[in-house]
């Protein structure tokens, strides 16, 4: 759920796998190479030929700005980061290079895939929970006690996104980012203002100038609003955003940058689907009174291709999609926007899913593995979160599926979005509503979905998407739609898949409409398990990469 609705961390989980490597704080060359091999080197390219001359010049400035963001992020993650980075760069031995490479992948001396534990000597054994947002010796209790003594506005600032906490003369004090990172932010503001003078796009100009002003004033409201209105070929997200690195309180925003180019073809595909969502809702395979005669407005989805991502957007498992802003005031007034990084998803597809498919699909089916259909299904998944029962009535009470299904809700809702996404695409294929679909569309859609099930199941059944996927897989298998071959690979039975998808869509939506906790529990207990055939298949995938280490080819070419 988080992946799609509340933010970016879980987006990273889409391709994450938490098989940790047992390691010492002082990993040797072989261990470091093994850890780094979990990230497959992946070139990221973007076609910039459609940009105007002015936007091209703006892009060069924005790439410089993105690199400046890395400097701030290194500081934010750990006070010792810059000194360590300089030291690592000087070590030209094989071990030194491996350490530098893995440091840069993680933007610090702790391995994100291994619970943020240290892989270098002479650093804290684990990433400090409060990163470098609070004094290293401050406890949670001390902060809370202090904050409760502060008057309203000071308290808001201390708990706010955009301040760090220092200890001065023994006392805690909040320092705004605009002071703390003054020189870096001044440089960033100039770069953004320079980019603003060369672009012809009014909405980009406005975002860049208001954001430059925010860097210096520490007031981000106006520029967050400008970001919501941003509609330009160059699509930029730059500044302090997510709070995941603050594991102490989740208050403090880390700096990141996504410099991207809008994907017009995919963005219009989203619009095409969005315009047909009410029709899908009206035809959902549930009792008519469970259908919503007027579905609400959805957060807009923008599909882009990444030229470069830096800072918090470029460590550990890479972001495939995000949902911003986080400022609740902006969200209340303007809503939020979902951004999907298409070329990042494609790189993950090539580096992670294709090798999985080679092990779980028979050779004759592999030609049906299709990024186009994989990505189209992700779009359908995101959109179908917005349809189906959301406001329900249980025993005369107005309530929601989330409230009634409690801790089971997110697994059920993720399974619902997957399966209803398939239902929606099948509905459109049956009515020839998808102009780009060829005769092999169904084969490609379902075969790609089957292979991607294994990618999701690798998260482990503690995670909502994986729980939801195990439920779907076993349900479809029991209906004869997913079949295990004698050699341990799998195939789709195309005479059974459509009816099975329809039936599971009906079951999950009805369960949500009725807020039926007991039946949700029964369904998850029965289906959300790793049966021996799945377990065996997953064991064979263990050595495969988990995520990508992007090489931003376009950026390098522009700098040469």
Q: Which is nearer to Zn ion, 35 or 469 (CB)?
A: 469
DSSP bridge partners of 110: 118
CA angle (161, 164, 167) in 5-degree steps: 150
Size of the site for Zn ion (CB under 5 A): 2
Residue 16 CB, nearest approach to Zn ion (Å): 15
Q: For residues 99-158, which are near Zn ion according to CB under 5 A?
A: none
Element (H, E) at 65: helix 53-77
Residue 418 CB, nearest approach to Zn ion (Å): 8
Q: Which is nearer to Zn ion, 209 or 456 (CB)?
A: 456
Interatomic CA distance for residues 217 and 283, integer angstroms: 51
Site for Zn ion contains 387 (CB under 5 A): no
Our measurement of the distance from residue 458's CA atom to the centroid of its chain's CA atoms, rounded to an integer in Å, reads: 16
Q: Which is nearer to Zn ion, 417 or 477 (CB)?
A: 417
Q: Which is nearer to Zn ion, 4 or 204 (CB)?
A: 4
Is the backbone of residue 488 left (phi > 0), alpha (psi -120 to 50) or beta? left
Q: Which is nearer to Zn ion, 174 or 411 (CB)?
A: 411
Interatomic CA distance for residues 467 and 560, integer angstroms: 47
Site for Zn ion contains 320 (CB under 5 A): no
DSSP bridge partners of 310: 257
Q: Which is nearer to Zn ion, 417 or 513 (CB)?
A: 417
Cβ-proximal residue to Zn ion, closest one:
4
Site for Zn ion contains 4 (CB under 5 A): yes
Residue 392 CB, nearest approach to Zn ion (Å): 19
Q: Which is nearer to Zn ion, 172 or 380 (CB)?
A: 380
Q: Which is nearer to Zn ion, 1 or 44 (CB)?
A: 1
Residue 12 CB, nearest approach to Zn ion (Å): 14
Q: Which is nearer to Zn ion, 42 or 320 (CB)?
A: 320
Residue 379 CB, nearest approach to Zn ion (Å): 11
Residue 464 CB, nearest approach to Zn ion (Å): 8
Q: Which is nearer to Zn ion, 386 or 515 (CB)?
A: 386
Q: Is 455 in contact with 353 (CB distance < 8 Å)?
A: yes
User: What is the SS3 string spanning 463-512?
Assistant: CHHHHHHHHHHHHHHHCCCEEECCCCCEEECCCCHHHHHHHHHHHHHHHH
Residue 301 CB, nearest approach to Zn ion (Å): 13
β-strand pairing of 39-44 with 547-552: parallel
DSSP bridge partners of 259: 236, 308
For tokens 């594991």, the residue is 247
Interatomic CA distance for residues 447 and 432, integer angstroms: 20
Backbone angles phi and psi of 482, in degrees to 5: -110, 125
For tokens 């399966």, the residue is 419
Residue 51 CB, nearest approach to Zn ion (Å): 32
Residue 13 CB, nearest approach to Zn ion (Å): 11
Residue 477 CB, nearest approach to Zn ion (Å): 22
Q: Is 323 in contact with 4 (CB distance < 8 Å)?
A: yes
Specify the stretch interacting with Zn ion by CB under 5 A; choose among 2-10, 95-103, 209-217, 512-520.
2-10
Q: Which of 429, 421, 341 is nearest to 380 (CA)?
A: 421
β-strand pairing of 110-111 with 321-324: unpaired
Contacts for 344 with CB less than 8 Å, ≥ 6 apart: 44, 306, 318, 319, 320, 548, 550
Residue 416 CB, nearest approach to Zn ion (Å): 9
Contacts for 488 with CB less than 8 Å, ≥ 6 apart: 533, 536, 537, 540
Q: Which is nearer to Zn ion, 417 or 497 (CB)?
A: 417
Q: Rounded to 5, what percent of the chain is helix, strand, coil? A: 55, 15, 35
Q: For residues 326-355, which are near Zn ion according to CB under 5 A?
A: none
For tokens 């270098």, the residue is 120
Residue 417 CB, nearest approach to Zn ion (Å): 5
Q: Which is nearer to Zn ion, 84 or 417 (CB)?
A: 417
Q: Which is nearer to Zn ion, 16 or 254 (CB)?
A: 16
Specify the stretch interacting with Zn ion by CB under 5 A; choose among 1-9, 87-95, 174-182, 241-249.
1-9
Residue 37 CB, nearest approach to Zn ion (Å): 29
Q: Is 319 in contact with 8 (CB distance < 8 Å)?
A: yes
β-strand pairing of 301-311 with 321-324: unpaired
Q: For residues 412-471, which are near Zn ion according to CB under 5 A?
A: 417
Interatomic CA distance for residues 256 and 275, integer angstroms: 33
Interatomic CA distance for residues 29 and 480, integer angstroms: 48
Query: What x/- string results for residues 501 through 530 when contact with Zn ion is judged by CB under 5 A?
Result: ------------------------------
Residue 31 CB, nearest approach to Zn ion (Å): 35
Hey, what are 420's tokens?
């209803």
Q: Which is nearer to Zn ion, 74 or 501 (CB)?
A: 501
Q: Which residues are near Zn ion by CB under 5 A?
A: 4, 417
């Amino acid at each position: 759920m988080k992946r799609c609705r509340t933010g970016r961390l879980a987006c990273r989980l889409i391709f994450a796998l938490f098989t940790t490597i047992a390691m010492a704080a002082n990993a040797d060359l072989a261990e470091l190479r093994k850890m780094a091999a979990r990230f497959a080197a992946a070139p990221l390219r973007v076609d910039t030929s459609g940009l105007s001359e002015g936007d091209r010049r703006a892009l060069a400035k924005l790439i410089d700005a993105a690199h400046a963001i890395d400097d701030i992020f290194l500081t934010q993650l750990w006070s010792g980061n810059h000194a360590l980075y300089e030291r690592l760069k000087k070590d030209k031995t094989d071990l030194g290079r491996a350490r530098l490479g893995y440091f840069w992948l993680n933007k610090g001396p702790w391995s994100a895939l291994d619970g943020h534990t240290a892989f270098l000597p002479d650093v804290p054994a684990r990433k400090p929970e409060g990163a470098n947002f609070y004094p290293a010796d401050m406890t949670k209790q001390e902060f809370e006690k202090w904050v409760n003594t502060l008057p309203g506005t000071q308290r808001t600032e201390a708990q706010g996104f955009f301040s760090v906490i220092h200890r001065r003369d023994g006392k805690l004090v909040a320092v705004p980012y605009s002071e703390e990172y003054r020189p870096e932010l001044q440089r960033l503001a100039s770069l953004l203002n320079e980019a603003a003078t060369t672009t012809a796009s009014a909405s980009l100009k406005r975002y860049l100038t208001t954001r430059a002003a925010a860097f210096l004033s520490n007031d981000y409201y106006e520029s967050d609003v400008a970001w919501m209105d941003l509609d330009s070929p160059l699509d930029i997200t730059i500044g302090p955003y997510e709070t995941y690195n603050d594991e102490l309180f989740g208050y403090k925003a880390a700096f990141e940058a996504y410099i991207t180019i809008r994907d017009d073809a995919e963005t219009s595909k989203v619009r095409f689907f969005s315009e047909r969502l009410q029709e899908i809702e009206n035809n959902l395979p549930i009792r008519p009174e469970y259908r919503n005669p007027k579905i609400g407005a959805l957060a807009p989805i923008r599909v882009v291709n990444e030229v470069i991502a830096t800072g918090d957007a470029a460590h550990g498992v890479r972001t495939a999609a995000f949902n911003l802003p986080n400022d609740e005031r902006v969200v209340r007034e303007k809503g939020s926007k979902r951004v999907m990084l298409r070329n990042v998803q494609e790189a993950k597809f090539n580096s992670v899913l294709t090798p999985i498919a080679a092990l779980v699909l028979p050779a004759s089916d592999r030609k049906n593995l299709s990024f186009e259909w994989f990505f189209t299904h992700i779009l359908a998944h995101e959109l179908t979160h917005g349809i189906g029962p959301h406001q329900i009535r249980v025993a005369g009470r107005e309530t929601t599926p989330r409230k009634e299904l409690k801790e089971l809700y997110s697994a059920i809702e993720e399974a619902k979005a997957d399966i209803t996404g398939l239902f929606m695409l099948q509905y459109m294929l049956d009515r020839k509503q998808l102009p780009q679909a060829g005769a092999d569309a169904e084969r490609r859609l379902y075969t790609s979905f089957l292979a991607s099930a294994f990618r999701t199941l690798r998260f482990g059944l503690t995670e909502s998407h994986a729980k939801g996927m195990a439920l779907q897989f076993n349900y479809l298998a029991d209906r004869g739609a997913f079949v295990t071959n004698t050699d341990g690979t799998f195939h789709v039975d195309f005479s059974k898949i459509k009816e099975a998808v329809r039936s599971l869509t009906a079951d999950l939506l009805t369960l949500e409409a009725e807020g039926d906790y007991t039946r949700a529990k029964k369904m998850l207990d029965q289906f959300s398990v790793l049966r021996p055939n799945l377990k065996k298949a997953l064991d064979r995938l263990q050595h495969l990469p988990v995520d990508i280490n992007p090489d931003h080819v376009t950026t390098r070419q522009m700098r040469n």
